[in-house]
Chains A and B, each alone.
Chain A
Amino acid sequence: MSVHGWRRGLLPVVAIFAALIISGCSSNAAALTGSSWPGITADDDTIYVAFQGGVHAIDGESRQTLWSYSALSERRSLIGGRRPVSFFAEPFVGDDIVVVGDYSESLHALDAEDGQRLWIFSTDRARFIGGAVAQDDVVYAGAADGNLYALDASSGEELWAFPTDGEIWDAPLLAEGVLYVPSLDHKLYAVDAQTGREIWQFETGGAVVGTPTLDDGVLYFGAFDKTIYALDVESGRELWKREVEDWVWDSPAVADGLLVAGDLSGHVYGLNSDDGSIAWEIQTEDNQPVVGTPLIKDGTAYFASGDANVYAVDVENGQVRWSETITSEFTGQLLFIQTGTSVRDVPIYGPLVSYDDQLLVGLPQGDDLLQIRNADGGTEAWTYAPEGGAQTAASAGSEEEQPEELTPTQQLLRWGPLVVSMILFTILLSRRQQQQ
């Protein structure tokens, strides 16, 4: 009976402990419990990447880091300190300015040459998940508080804010003085870029996440109601809509009368742009999502999938020209000791970005931050990791550390001492009672 009694007492303690550990583990824990994937933009000779603790500018020729930018939050935590902020939004690159929002509450404007901060615009608690756009000295950016902010590009002063009822997770599309804003409140809005007044809005049955695509007076975009829409850009009137198999995250790519779009079950569709009829359909492995808008170059559509592959597909008929698996080294860490490296497949979620005749692939995990592949054949051209492996000096965390979730190791460190002391306390207490 007494043995059973001990077991009885320890059982809940051990079970809670185990529960904590298990809750931190899952088949894809590292992939899907963090915040987001790298935001990449490229101009003629420089590549800009935002990920975790830093924004990096990379010279495309020499492949060297030109500068890295990191920052502390403008908000103070409970204890009074300021934590480093994370960046995931794709940087907007203007003439001499780079604008990138952080995952905390601010929009940063940096000098494109050296990465020095020019100004910072802070909101109450609105994260910037999508990128910004700018024109005529005004910067426009949507935030997770549902507002589309218009700021003076030289000072960062707020000019106006257009409210929506849901978070904004991608950059607005700016065309001929009108901003087209996607919102998780199920709507796409058309907003006058000068005044911030609404011109029209279009409601769907699900969250509208990605920036719409504009081609020849027609707006194309997808939503979480498993539908791809085509609207007249002037009036917002629906021209056609096509139901697909699963949620659509980002908008379709357009070229020569054909749309190419992916859904979150890994289906990729070729649609006729005049009526949305499906010309062809393929599927990636394992129902893994195709998240970002495909990139179309010279009749080939390039996209990446959560199945860790990059695909090149013929736009006309959907035939796969090539596919390559993205892998990276992972340097393992237990407590503070490096436990060796392993090589694993890396799921890719963002859109591929074109640079020269190459494709830029952002890795949300692993020691590499970017892999650059040749568009012709998909072979690896080079890889990029900032100093210290996808971290910057200001960021104290490792690749795996996320603001919201803790890795099993961190949970062990956090709760271990408490649980152990509880067990010891209990044992001591009962020992003492026994002696009395």
Chain B
Amino acid sequence: MQFLELVFLDPMVNALLFLYGLLGNYVLALILLTIIVRLLTYPLTRQQQRSTRRMQELQPEIEKIRKKYENDREQLAAKQMELYKKHGVNPAGGCLPTVIQFPILIGFYRAITQTLAASPLQLLNLSQHVYSTLPNLNDLVPLDSRFLWLDLAAPDPFFVLPVLVVATTFAQQKLLTPPSADPQQASMAQSMQITMPIMIGFFALTFPSGLSIYWVTSSLIGIIQYVAEGRVTFINRLLGREEETGEKTKKPGKGSKSKATGGPKRLDRGSRAKK
């Protein structure tokens, strides 16, 4: 735990304090820190989103395979994997970014509760985690935890943030859940799409409102990122540029591979004719 604190939690606490000193406003500092953290995890989230997008576009192909191998589960699974490999989609790639989200969530939770120290023991605790080398932290403490109607260290008394949390989580989930041909999987995914946002909304009712602000900001960034990526893909195709495939090891380039990725996408664009 000490190691974790040193490498991850303490930097977050100090980064938050530093940004607060820079911007003079705790919410702005939180938002900026969220943006920075998203930038740092961009490679991972980008991977996941690309994977998801690919999978969504491969849906018709998957349907076909499913129909063909309806009675043979093994073959079905094997053929699916083959298809994914061919198009450079890693179905397990979705796990890592999701998993990373939660240590980051803990990091923000600790950073927020520690920096908004309200009691003597909490202030003492904060003093043990602050880097003495950072200038001007002396006069920042204790921090002003009020923002509009909110006390950032306490839950939102008016449910505004929890509702925002549920809405943005739901939207992001909807965008980022890859479709699955397997009906069992699909229904599982569907129920997760509903229960996850609601559950997180519940948590938002008891967590510090500062944490909800982080979560909403992060979800919004995720949504914007996904939509923007979509635009980029569209633009690339417009200009006739070749596209990278999902896997890092595979190089983008002309040849059969790019034709393969091109195929299903052209299907989406209105032409149902198979190449």
Question: Which residues in A have some Cβ–Cβ distance to B below 8 Å?
Answer: 1-2, 4-6, 8-9, 11-13, 15-16, 18-20, 22-23, 25-28, 31-37, 88, 129, 166-167, 169, 184, 186, 205-207, 224-226, 245-247, 249, 264-265, 287, 289, 291, 306, 349, 364, 404, 415, 418-419, 422, 425-426, 429-430, 433-434
**Which of B77, B121, B127 contacts A35 (CB under 8 A)?**
B121
The complex places the Cα of A426 from the Cα of B192 at a distance, in Å, of: 7
Q: Tell me if A5 and B184 are in contact (CB < 8 A).
A: yes
Q: Tell me if A224 and B188 are in contact (CB < 8 A).
A: no
Question: Which residues in B have some Cβ–Cβ distance to A below 8 Å?
Answer: 1-2, 5, 77, 80-81, 91-92, 94-95, 98-99, 101-103, 105-106, 109-110, 118-122, 124-125, 127-128, 132, 138-139, 141-142, 180, 182-185, 187-189, 191-192, 195-196, 199-200, 202-203
The complex places the Cα of A2 from the Cα of B74 at a distance, in Å, of: 11
Given contacts A27-B2, A426-B188, A426-B195, contact A19 B138 (CB under 8 A): no
The complex places the Cα of A13 from the Cα of B120 at a distance, in Å, of: 34
Q: Tell me if A425 and B125 are in contact (CB < 8 A).
A: no
Q: Tell me if B187 and A433 are in contact (CB < 8 A).
A: yes
The complex places the Cα of A264 from the Cα of B138 at a distance, in Å, of: 12
Q: Tell me if B142 and A207 are in contact (CB < 8 A).
A: yes
Given contacts A16-B203, A26-B5, A36-B121, contact A11 B95 (CB under 8 A): yes
Closest residue of chain B to A28, judged by CB? Answer: B125
Q: Tell me if B2 and A184 are in contact (CB < 8 A).
A: no
Q: Tell me if A207 and B184 are in contact (CB < 8 A).
A: no
Name the A residues within 8 Å of B101 (CB-CB).
Answer: 15
Name the B residues within 8 Å of A26 (CB-CB).
Answer: 1, 5
Q: Which of B77, B185, B200 has the most CB of A within 10 A?
A: B185
Q: Which of B124, B127, B200 has the most CB of A within 10 A?
A: B124
Name the A residues within 8 Å of B124 (CB-CB).
Answer: 32, 249, 264, 289, 291, 306, 349
Q: Which of A12, A169, A225, A226 has the most CB of B within 10 A?
A: A12
Q: Tell me if A246 and B184 are in contact (CB < 8 A).
A: no
| 22 residue pairs bridging A and B, Cβ less than 8 Å apart | A5-B180, A9-B188, A11-B98, A12-B192, A16-B200, A18-B102, A27-B1, A28-B125, A32-B124, A35-B120, A186-B139, A225-B139, A246-B127, A246-B132, A265-B132, A287-B128, A289-B124, A306-B124, A349-B120, A404-B118, A404-B119, A426-B195
Name the A residues within 8 Å of B120 (CB-CB).
Answer: 35-37, 88, 129, 169, 349
The complex places the Cα of A25 from the Cα of B109 at a distance, in Å, of: 12
Name the B residues within 8 Å of A206 (CB-CB).
Answer: 138-139, 141
What's the dominant secondary structure at chain A's contact region?
loop
**B175 CB, nearest partner CB in chain A, Å:** 16
The complex places the Cα of A330 from the Cα of B132 at a distance, in Å, of: 34
User: In the complex, given contacts A5-B189, A429-B187, what are 19 additional A-B residue pairs having Cβ atoms less than 8 angstroms apart?
Assistant: A9-B188, A12-B192, A13-B196, A16-B200, A18-B102, A19-B102, A23-B109, A34-B121, A36-B119, A129-B120, A206-B141, A245-B132, A247-B127, A264-B128, A289-B127, A349-B120, A404-B119, A430-B191, A434-B184
Q: Which of A6, A8, A404 has the most CB of B within 10 A?
A: A8
Q: Tell me if A205 and B203 are in contact (CB < 8 A).
A: no
Closest residue of chain A to B126, judged by CB? Answer: A32
The complex places the Cα of A226 from the Cα of B35 at a distance, in Å, of: 33
Given contacts A5-B185, A15-B102, A27-B1, contact A207 B141 (CB under 8 A): yes
Given contacts A35-B120, A364-B121, contact A23 B110 (CB under 8 A): yes
Q: Tell me if B121 and A12 are in contact (CB < 8 A).
A: no
**B13 CB, nearest partner CB in chain A, Å:** 12
**A311 CB, nearest partner CB in chain B, Å:** 18
Q: Tell me if B98 and A429 are in contact (CB < 8 A).
A: no
Closest residue of chain B to A406, judged by CB? Answer: B206
**A110 CB, nearest partner CB in chain B, Å:** 23
Q: Tell me if A264 and B106 are in contact (CB < 8 A).
A: no
Closest residue of chain B to A349, judged by CB? Answer: B124
Q: Tell me if B191 and A11 are in contact (CB < 8 A).
A: no
The complex places the Cα of A9 from the Cα of B139 at a distance, in Å, of: 46
The complex places the Cα of A20 from the Cα of B128 at a distance, in Å, of: 23
Q: Tell me if A1 and B91 are in contact (CB < 8 A).
A: yes
The complex places the Cα of A32 from the Cα of B94 at a distance, in Å, of: 37
Name the A residues within 8 Å of B189 (CB-CB).
Answer: 5, 8-9
**B130 CB, nearest partner CB in chain A, Å:** 9
Name the A residues within 8 Å of B94 (CB-CB).
Answer: 8
Given contacts A205-B139, A207-B141, A364-B121, contact A32 B202 (CB under 8 A): no
**A350 CB, nearest partner CB in chain B, Å:** 9
The complex places the Cα of A35 from the Cα of B125 at a distance, in Å, of: 11
The complex places the Cα of A31 from the Cα of B119 at a distance, in Å, of: 13
Q: Tell me if B127 and A264 are in contact (CB < 8 A).
A: yes
The complex places the Cα of A419 from the Cα of B202 at a distance, in Å, of: 11
The complex places the Cα of A18 from the Cα of B103 at a distance, in Å, of: 10
Q: Which of B121, B139, B202 has the most CB of A within 10 A?
A: B121
Name the A residues within 8 Å of B5 (CB-CB).
Answer: 26-27
